[in-house]
Amino acid sequence: MFRRLFSSSDTDTGPDVLAAVERLLHVSRPDERSSEALRILVKTLPGDVRGYVVRGTDRGRYAFEAVQGYSQSMLGLTPEHGPWREPGPRVVPNLVAELFQPNASELRAAFGELGLRNAVSTVVVPVAGRFHRHGSMVLHRHAGSAFDEEELKDVSHWGAILGEAHSQALELRRTKLSLVEFTRAFVQAMEAQDYAQLGHAERVTAYAQAVGRALELNSQEMVDLYFAAMLHDIGKLGAGLDLSIEDMEHPQRGANLVASAGLLRPAAEGIRGHHENWDGTGFPSGLRKEQIPLLARVVAVADVFDVLSSERGQAMPLREVEKALEARSGRELDPSLVQLFINILRQGKSTTELARIEDDDLPF
């Protein structure tokens, strides 16, 4: 899609532009993607150019998502009218008529304080991809000549590039959320074969993500940790329906089951290694210390904690759980992660509170 956008454009497609598009595609948040596109255009277009991206809200109003060249206070405004209502692409013939006259006096005053009345020329283009209409991009030139047709074409191409980046990110998010929902339903159905196992995977996932937050894992690592923890026992399906059987082949079998899915490939390493021991006595590969992937070491601590603390396992009081974890530290479990988890336990949350999966841990 992006090659097609470039091939239909007369813009420079040299290394600088390609590098800019590469940066745009690697930004995770919509507002940051919009800011990056605006930054590129403000930097490359001649004259004093400033701009913003506007998107619709659920209430039929509009919101400024990103700005360049204007005060960040603009992001707090929610206008009802503006040139983005007819996104074009087009050169706006009368900014005052489209932005100032239709809005309330408070907004007109705010726009005036931002300097919008001083714009000598304005362009507006849609920000839309193949699957999703995101909003509009508006650029103002405050000094120099009016925007010409070639500049309008260039801005339109960047609006399309930004729209496609938003669209692809949205489709990926939907795919990931569908995978999350399917994974949770599948694991619940699997655990339902043995009443004592119900909730084990979700509790382990919540404990693992508490550790992940304390480690300040990045967004993608938290997603990988979610799937590694939720699916850590999936390999037990190969040993029949008795999930209480701890066969030594289930970590490798589980990793094999998910490794073919691209989104789950990093999680597969966490699944494969969650029974490796810090001292090298674990299975399936006898890895030791940092040879064991971090996700696997985190899942191992969470898994052991659930065995020690839940009705599924030994249902020990928290003080006894701490002692049992410390006894496994440096032998079965990563000592730094054990200490980190004990610190989490001492922050006062109950086991029930810790066992809740936080929505913010899946930043799709």
How confident is the model at residue 313, as a pLDDT?
A: 61
Distances (CA, A) of 277 to 71, 341, 356: 54, 17, 27
- CB-based contact 204:211 (threshold 8 Å): no
Structure tokens belonging to residue 97: 């008529």
Per cent of the chain over pLDDT 90 is 62
* Domains of the chain by start residue, with CATH: 2-170 (3.30.450.40), 192-361 (1.10.3210.10)
Q: Which helix (H) or strand (E) holds 245?
A: none
Distance of CA 129 to the CA centre of its chain: 19
Count CB neighbours of 257 within 10 A: 17
How confident is the model at residue 2, as a pLDDT?
A: 43
pLDDT at 59 over 70: no
| Residue entry with tokens 């013939």 | 93
Kindly report the average pLDDT of the chain as a whole number.
88
Burial class (CB in 10 A: 0-12, 13-18, 19+), 192: exposed
Count CB neighbours of 295 within 10 A: 28
Alpha helices (H) in 98-249, listed in sequence order: 105-114, 149-191, 200-214, 219-230
Q: Which helix (H) or strand (E) holds 139?
A: strand 133-141
pLDDT tier at 13, thresholds 50, 70, 90? very low
* pLDDT (mean) for 322-345: 96
Q: Report d(CA 328, CA 320) in Å as an integer.
A: 13
Q: CA geometry: angle at 23 spanning 165 and 160, to 5°?
A: 30
Structure tokens belonging to residue 132: 């999703």
Stated length of the chain: 364
- CB-based contact 306:205 (threshold 8 Å): no
Q: Which amino acid is at 100?
A: F
pLDDT at 270 over 90: yes
Residue 255 is classified by DSSP as H
Q: For residue 89, is the peptide bond before it cis, meaning its omega torsion is within 30 degrees of 0?
A: yes
How confident is the model at residue 8, as a pLDDT?
A: 47
pLDDT tier at 88, thresholds 50, 70, 90? confident
pLDDT tier at 275, thresholds 50, 70, 90? very high
Q: Which amino acid is at 159?
A: G
Structure tokens belonging to residue 108: 């007109």
- CB-based contact 273:287 (threshold 8 Å): yes
pLDDT tier at 15, thresholds 50, 70, 90? very low
- CB-based contact 259:314 (threshold 8 Å): no
Beta bridge mates, 256? none
Per cent of the chain over pLDDT 70 is 89
Q: What is the pLDDT of residues 125-143, one digit of tens each?
A: 999 988 788 999 999 999 8
Q: What is the pLDDT of residues 205-260, one digit of tens each?
A: 999 999 999 999 998 899 999 999 999 999 988 766 566 666 889 999 999 999 88
Helix, strand, coil percentages, rounded to 5, for the chain: 55, 10, 35
Q: Report d(CA 162, CA 158) in Å as an integer.
A: 6
Q: Which one is predicted more confidently, 169 or 41?
A: 41
pLDDT at 95 over 80: yes
Transcribe 5-70 into DSSP letters: HHHT--S--SHHHHHHHHHHHH--SHHHHHHHHHHHHHHHSSSSEEEEEEEE-TTS-EEEEEEESS
3-state class (DSSP) for residue 331: coil
pLDDT tier at 25, thresholds 50, 70, 90? confident
Structure tokens belonging to residue 94: 């009368």
Structure tokens belonging to residue 91: 């050169």
